[in-house]
Amino acid sequence: MAAVSTSLASQLSPLRFSSSNSDTSHSLFHNVHSQIRLASSRKVSRGVVAMAGSGKFFVGGNWKCNGTKESIAKLVSDLNNAKLEDDVDVVVAPPFVYIEQVKSSLTSRIEISAQNSWVSKGGAFTGEISVEQLKDIGCKWVILGHSERRHVIGEDDQFIGKKAAYALSEGLGVIACIGELLEEREAGKTFDVCFQQLKAYADAVPSWDSIVIAYEPVWAIGTGKVATPEQAQEVHAAIRDWLKKNVSSEVASKTRIIYGGSVNGSNCAELAKKEDIDGFLVGGASLKGPEFGTIVNSVTAKKVAA
């Protein structure tokens, strides 16, 4: 595991954005700084998969509030016809109203996730979806703590931790999202924010066996801006180090830490090469079957040519 400094204030390095609109983003964010020191790289033996953790590569597609019956049928058809690498866990999260349609027509190679769940057993909670209902229709996973739930809906760390604990206790896997706002990164608080969010999960969950951590810097979600591979690796290594120090070495090794934030077919391979990036949570590009297949198959970039 790459060594990571926990001294925040004095470890400033330039934040470089990778974007399809690179001239604009470089000009706009030229003076933005991150507080994370570049983690030292680790050499990997040839012919092995370059992963700091021991878990299987994981790629999730978050379809968010997108799609119609017709467009989703086309997307499912594309996914069914895609040739996907075997050594990847693949999950998609359709809107609630289309879960049954997707579950009944999508290859069993790809598991189904929900995008949210309620904090306890169902009942008089208008507009909510219970874990029990999700399990009843065949969901295996749920995305919790996404920035849109935190910053648009207003869910706080403790509430999200309780939701994760309940979902896990009822047998759903949890894709546990964390990540900082642009102003928090500019202020040198990336570690502080991510660790606080991690602690809320750690304080609540009964086990880490069915948790995948998704680091999604909020400034990169849906903006076309993506952290450079080095920046993403820095934070992922810090997350793994936090787990080692605050939970256990075993959990740090076993827990998959995936990256999200404008991941696409063009940038996924370079990101996947980093040892602490164990996969991706994909937004817009997951609505395009062939491109999502490319992202899934970026696991091949992890493999060092023998």
Q: Angle at which helices 157-169 and 190-204 pack, to 10 degrees?
A: 40
Q: How far is residue 210's CA from residue 67's CA, in Å, rounded to a whole number?
A: 28
Annotation says 146 is catalytic? yes
Q: How far is residue 151's CA from residue 173's CA, in Å, rounded to a whole number?
A: 23
Q: How far is residue 153's CA from residue 160's CA, in Å, rounded to a whole number?
A: 12
Annotation says 33 is catalytic? no
Are residues 32 and 15 in contact, defined by beta-carbon separation less than 8 angstroms? yes
Are residues 185 and 34 in contact, defined by beta-carbon separation less than 8 angstroms? yes
Q: How far is residue 293's CA from residue 238's CA, in Å, rounded to a whole number?
A: 29
Both tokens assigned to 209: 């066996």
List the catalytic residue out of 148, 184, 186, 216: 216
List the catalytic residue out of 146, 155, 186, 275: 146
Neighbours of 11 (CB within 10 A): 17
**What sign does the dihedral 169-172-175-178 (CA atoms) show?**
negative
Q: How far is residue 74's CA from residue 288's CA, in Å, rounded to a whole number?
A: 10
Residues that are catalytic: 146, 216
